[in-house]
Chains A and B, each alone.
Chain A
């Protein structure tokens, strides 16, 4: 995985001490978005959008806010942040989410294979 380049990138993005605000005040709301917690994952959720009813229960129960929604519809999974806990597959009322071993092949079956959160920026 890309853990090594990611950590180097994180270090280079960290501010110098001269740039730190007095009191250590954070000035970038939601900046942990750059952290690739998807690296932790061993299983990846695969959503069967044919059967999805867009009830949003996976969205509301996801600890990592990894379900991407637009206009009250589920449009994809943010694999940059999904930690693969599998809560979504458990709570889905129509069982249209399946957890499969994380691999490049399985990630590609996703409509938004982690790329959409990048392109959204």
Chain B
């Protein structure tokens, strides 16, 4: 069945209006696409982050789905408990057995840093849920601090750029591959500009027999320092520069989604964001060459993984 926006637009909107996310934020775009992609009624756990503080301002809520609010770190554990409780109640005949999809929305801070061991534990226990990481590469809701998802060289308030240091000195953590190493049925990387790719991946994740993880790049116009109308363009540039490859890992088999993604040098993506302005003002900057070399190396490693035959079971 081909995926058509007109068909999706007939479905009820499960994430409403009037939330307090910034103008040009990519997170509500992706959340709405993900909720519209699900076939079963969702039950959502929400980690602390931009999305949570802006969409659940007491006594209001933007959500039109059952939602459980958890702390910064334990959204994966919360949804594990919800899923286990639901199974137990069904077994005891106290709840009707019907297909539900358990979903977590968490930011990169809650996934890469603070909720890391909790997520790892939930994946290992094999609860059936879809974990969505809305990755804006930093702690944007508290005022643009670095996270372990922040790109090398990026300015943040905790990695200021100046004579002593050119922004963040460390390379970011490759969370998608770390999650894939848990051997769960479905892992994917998606970006907010590509709704078709994201919705296809969410549908596969929902059908997966066990935990599923989707890492969605959601550019932050305040934190990345670009004009709010450029959100989708920046998302696309990040993918085309190879900084955010779109791929999926189905039962251990890596596969690129979409043909010929990497077609630009990284400088094109860096120039679109003023958080890199201290290194992009000089095109010969050693940091840019370093980022390009590392991106090329990781890209080749990813292609090798995609070309690797899966061991016979």
Contact = CB atoms under 8 A, between A and B. Distances in A.
B16 interface: yes
Nearest to B233: A90
Given A63-B23, A63-B28, A87 B231 contact: yes
Contacts of A66: 17
Contacts of A62: 29
Contact of B33 (A20, A60, A69): A60
A61 B27 CA distance: 10
Contacts, number: 131
B228 A86 contact: yes
B216 to A, nearest CB: 14
Interface string B57-91: 11111111101000000000000000000000000
Given A34-B60, A87-B228, A90-B230, A63 B17 contact: no
Interface residues of A, number: 45
A56 B230 CA distance: 18
B26 A63 contact: yes
B29 A32 contact: no
A37 B60 contact: no
B16 A26 contact: no
A83 interface: yes
Q: Is the interface of A mostly helix, strand, loop or mixed?
A: loop
A61 B234 CA distance: 13
Interface string A55-74: 11101111111100101100
Nearest to B196: A60
Interface string A82-121: 0111110111000000010000000000000000010000
Contacts of A83: 22-24
Nearest to B56: A26
A60 B197 CA distance: 13
B290 interface: no
B232 A56 contact: no
Given A37-B18, A56-B9, A32 B23 contact: no
Contacts of B8: 56, 60
Given A15-B59, A28-B60, A30-B61, A86 B9 contact: no
B56 A86 contact: no
Most buried by A among B59, B64, B228: B59
A56 B6 contact: yes
Contact of A86 (B17, B22, B64, B229): B229
B60 A31 contact: yes
B20 interface: yes
Most buried by B among A14, A26, A59, A89: A26
A87 B232 contact: yes
Most buried by A among B24, B193, B227: B24
Contacts of B55: 32
Give 8 closest A-B pairs by Cβ, nearest first: A86-B229, A30-B16, A83-B23, A32-B18, A56-B5, A85-B24, A72-B6, A35-B18
11 contacts: A30-B62, A35-B18, A35-B60, A36-B18, A56-B9, A59-B9, A63-B25, A83-B24, A86-B24, A90-B229, A91-B232
